[in-house]
Structure 1
Amino acid sequence: MHLSRFGLLALGAAAVDAFRDTSPFFMASTSELLTNSAYIKNGASVYDEISSALSTCPSDYYVVVSQPGVHSTDFSTRKSAPRLGAKMLGKDRSIHSKMSVNEVVGELDAKQIKSLLVEKCGAETTAIDASSGSYPTYFESGPRVIDIEFAMLPLSNSRASQLSDNDGLLADIIDRIPSSSKYTILYVTSPREFPESDSVVYEPFEEFNHDGVHMDLKRDYSARADSSPSDSLGRQTSLFDEYQYFTPGLFMGFLASFFFLMILYIGVSALSSLQVSYAAFEKDTSGAVQKKQQ
């Protein structure tokens, strides 16, 4: 699918933080699989579709990637995961099947997918600890599950570079799969955590006095007061970036008003330029005087 289907947003559609409890899912395979991409699906539906697509054990290697702590906006530029993006955008000609879901609602467990492959395909498992950065120089013949678990992305500005480094490690592992073998990548993610200051905080408290017990709610506005508008990449933006003040309708109204004012001006100018003498409105009596004299 095209950019909007990938969900890597520039690798996919421009995404927003509308769904904070969702995360994307990507699948790419050198085998022919029947899959359907979508913008949003629940986790159970995605799992059922994966089970159906892999029921015939079409590949020799299944690269199951677990990347916790991400959101679709983390894939908003081509630099986020360029190698995975090349496979999802059709730049890798060896890929024959693709599936992407920008927003997966609910849990999609990578362990459940691995158990499915082990049970149905009799696949052996090779676990790779991505934090150590070490992995085999070659993989034994399939069917085999290559289990890659990445650490949760940090909430700091380094999350983009960490995601790119993970993408490089994944690409290097895939390059070590024998070229004559078929493989399927299942990139499973889980939603990222947001700082507490992102949300409005309500703290109930009790205040005792002679009139009885009073309950009240205290709202924390400090996060909103200190924060300024920012885009999906965290860059500061102005009000003119967030809102459209000069709309096409307003422009057309100004243009029509300009033409009406021009017509009015020309009409008033034409009327004011007329020059008529005062005598033109007086009755000519010279003819009547001559008749009386005769």
Structure 2
Amino acid sequence: MHFSKFGLLALGAAAANAFRDTSPFFLASTSEVLTNSAYIQTGAKLLENLSSSLSTCPSDYYVVVYQPGVHSSDFATRKSAPRLGAKMLGKDRTIRSKMSVNEVTGLVEPKEFKNLLVEKCKAQITAVNASSGSYPSYFESGPRIIDMEFPMLSLGSDRAQQLSGFDGFLADVVDRIPSSSTYTIIYITSPREFPETDSVIYEAGDSYPDTAHMELKRDYSAHGSASSSLKQDTSLFNDYQFFTPGIFMGLMATFLFLAILYIGINALSSLETPYAAFERDTSAAVQKKAQ
């Protein structure tokens, strides 16, 4: 099953934040490659599924790209990676096979794919320095692996601009491949750390281990610092908040209602009505009887 839209990588902010230790995977090829897209998949399962397809050596060139520090939400819009998005959306007529996995659990090592292609296809490796932005003017005949590793994206406002720049660099490298040759782009990513949390990214093994023997790496330094600071500062006002915004709003509303009540009572008490207003006027009845 192929996803029809590149934007399916982020099905809303809530869904994206649900998988903070995952990252996407893309494959686009001008050859016929047996692939199956999925929303979530383990790294071991992904490598297993692609090993049988890549073992047949379907292409002349294999562009193995590694982009660390990204999340599926980084590819939520087409402006994030427009050239790669065009290949995944089918706008590039030369692309015959494509695959995308929104959330890959566990880190996928690029060397696993490179070792597979070297062993099965006898491919030679040409390293491209993505950090300096330099690449050869042409590539020797295949089978050949074009190895590219981009720097980790920053957590600042220029994050999207960096990703778009890397996408343009990838497109320039692919354009250097002879038009008469076939190629396969293997775009591997790794998850990024979120600044608002100090969570540790867990690395999954080759398969899901037995729950009885599974060990998770946890960081207990935060607990130690919290306990020490609690001992140093035991003031009641530092541990509890007595004057919350809700209480402040309640007091303001109470003051407003009391002011309205005071004005109303004052207005009623200021009314002056003569006692004669409650007596019956008999002068009109007497005149009518005299007539």
Query: What is the Cα deviation at residue 197 of structure 1?
Result: 4.9
With over 3 angstroms needed to count, the CA separation of the structure-2 counterparts of 1:16 and 1:208, relative to structure 1, is closer
Contact 1:3 1:13 in 2 (8 A): no
- Partner of residue 202, structure 2: none
Report deviation, 1:92. Answer: 0.6
Q: Higher RCO, 1 or 2 (CA under 8 Å, sep at least 6)?
A: 2
Residue segments in structure 2 that go unaligned for 5+ positions in a row: 200-221, 233-237, 242-291
Contact 2:10 2:16 in 1 (8 A): no
TM-superposition CA deviations, 1:212-260 (whole Å, max 9, x none): xxxxxx99x9xxxxxxxxxxxxxxxxxxxxxxxxxxxxxxxxxxxxxxx
Which residues in structure 2 correspond to 1:223-238 (within 5 Å)? none
- After superposition, give the CA deviation of every residue in 1:163-210 in whole Å (9 maximum; x if it has no partner): 0000000001001100010100000000011114577x655415779x
Aligned length: 210
Does the residue aligned with 2:134 lie in a helix, a strand or coil?
coil
Q: Measured at CA, do residues 208 and 198 of structure 1 come closer, stay the same or move farther in structure 2, by a change above 3 Å?
A: closer
SS of 1:16 mapped into structure 2: helix
Residue 94 of structure 2: aligned partner: 94
TM-fit CA distance, 1:19: 0.4
Cα distance change of structure 1 residues 123 and 157 upon mapping to structure 2, 3 Å threshold: same
Q: From 205, 212, 221, give the equivalent of 2:227.
A: 205
Q: Secondary structure at the match of 2:51?
A: helix
Whether contact under 8 Å (1:3, 1:12) holds in the other structure is no
1-structure distance, mates of 2:148, 2:160: 19
Report how far residue 2 of structure 1 moved. 3.6
Mapped pair 1:118 → 2:118? yes
1:81-132, CA deviations, whole angstroms, 9 ceiling, x for partnerless residues? Answer: 0000000011111111111000000111111111111111100000011111
Q: Which residue of 2 aligns with 1:141?
A: 141
Cα distance between partner residues in 1 of 2:227 and 2:10:
45
Contact 2:43–2:107 (8 Å) recurs in 1: yes
Q: Deviations over 1:247-275 (max 9, x none)?
A: xxxxxxxxxxxxxxxxxxxxxxxxxxxxx
Matches within 5 A, 1:174-193: 174-193=174-193
* Bigger strand fraction: 1
Aligned: 1:61 with 2:91: no
Letter in 2 for 1:205: S
Measured in 1, the distance between the counterparts of 2:4 and 2:90 equals 10
Q: What is the alpha-carbon distance in structure 2 between the residues aligned to residue 183 and residue 101 of structure 1?
A: 20
Change (3 A) 1:113 1:198: same
Q: Secondary structure at the match of 1:191?
A: coil
CA gap 1:90/1:12 in 2 versus in 1, 3 angstroms:
farther
- Residue 273 of structure 2 aligns with which residue? none
Which residue identity lines up with residue 86 of structure 1 in the other structure? Answer: A
- In the alignment, the residues of structure 2 paired with residue 84 and residue 208 of structure 1 have an alpha-carbon distance, to the nearest angstrom, of 54
* Match of residue 48 from structure 2: 48
Q: Which amino acid aligns with 2:27?
A: M
**1:78 Cα shift?**
0.9
Looking at structure 2, the residues matched to 146 and 21 of structure 1 have their Cα atoms a distance apart, in angstroms, of 27
TM-score normalised per structure 2: 0.67
Letter in 1 for 2:107: E
TM-aligned CA deviation for residue 13 of structure 1: 3.8
Tell me how far apart the structure 1 counterparts of residues 40 and 134 of structure 2 sit (CA, whole Å): 35
RMSD: 2.6
